Structure 1
Amino acid sequence: MIVFLALLTLVDVLGRYLLSAPVPGALEITEIVLALMIGLALPLVERRQAHITVDFVDGIRAPRFQRVRRIVLGLVMAGALGVAARQMFVQAEDYALGNEHTMYFEIPAAPIAFAIAASLAIGAAVALATSLRPPRDTEADRIADEGPGL
């Protein structure tokens, strides 16, 4: 999706400035792809616990504190994603009832919103599961969990 967005932007900018002919509907395509990309990536980000974080209590290394901290943060994240999923489902239902479509291509908005809502709900379940699992202690476990690097 990122490569597609980069190519779309390149073609749109070149077309706009060199040929005075931008890609029709490029903004709409970009908005949809970005929304889907962010929404659909959340369960994977949560599974890997790859959120950008600022840790004010990183100096406390006590295993019990770290376990409680991980559980509390996981529950907070599960709750936040659950609320976001519920709100997105409500919005998707509104889109479906109102037969909402995008402006340029007239793409139905409800399926996109439902996909994002489902992904948020999966992310909430993953956050709950990862917060309650036993901590990983070995480097091999962490590598297996995260997969190969780029």
Structure 2
Amino acid sequence: MTRSGIFLGSIGGVLLLAMMGLTVCDVIGRYLFNSPIKGASELTELLLCAVIFVGLGAVSLAEDHVTVDLLTEKMPQAVHPSRQALTGALSGLILVVIAWRLWIYADQIGGYGGQTTNLGIPIAPLGYFCAVCAFVGGLITAFLPLRRFIRRLQE
């Protein structure tokens, strides 16, 4: 795993740990002291969103996306490099389109000042963060298999 992957994985782990700690404290406060943490569900949702999109970059760098190989295992070995390059490029393109739509959605949310209900945390910055993470993940998802394919052609 690369340094970037370790860094992104570590950030995701810290966010996940914070989400877990918040949930534990909220449950203890709710059931033992009858005093839940105000806005805990909102913070959990925001943290979960951040964990997912930070994790996207780490997964892309490690090329650990979920795959289903119902047909691919029956294909000849010679087809696999070009298939991987094509599926990487298409997956990357899909992630870039998702990033574009997330950016537009974040613009809309920012335009009307969307924020969480209880704590009043602005939602648009999280949308922009998710869009950037999806865009970077898309570039990585497309780039790594294409680079491997080009290197194989040059051999």
Which of 39, 54, 62 is equivalent to 1:40? 54
Per-residue CA deviation, residues 53-103 of structure 1 (Å, 9 max, x unaligned), is: 221135347442110221121012112101110110010110111111111
Q: Give the TM-score normalised by structure 1.
A: 0.83
Task: Please give the secondary structure, in 2, of the residue aligned with 1:133.
Answer: helix
Matches within 5 A, 1:41-120: 41-60=55-74, 62-120=76-134
Over the aligned positions, Cα root-mean-square deviation in angstroms equals 1.5
% identical aligned pairs: 27
Query: Where does structure 1 lack aligned partners over 5 or more consecutive residues?
Result: 136-150
Instruction: Tell me the number of residue pairs that the alignment of Structure 1 and Structure 2 aligns.
Output: 135
Distance 2:20 2:133 in 1: 24
Letter aligned with residue 122 of structure 2: P
Q: Specify the alignment match of 1:4 in structure 2.
A: 18
Query: Where does structure 2 lack aligned partners over 5 or more consecutive residues?
Result: 1-14, 150-155
Letter aligned with residue 49 of structure 2: A
**Larger fraction in helix:** 2
Distance 2:35 2:148 in 1: 56
Q: CA deviation at 1:31?
A: 0.4
Q: Give the TM-score normalised by structure 2.
A: 0.81
Letter aligned with residue 76 of structure 1: L
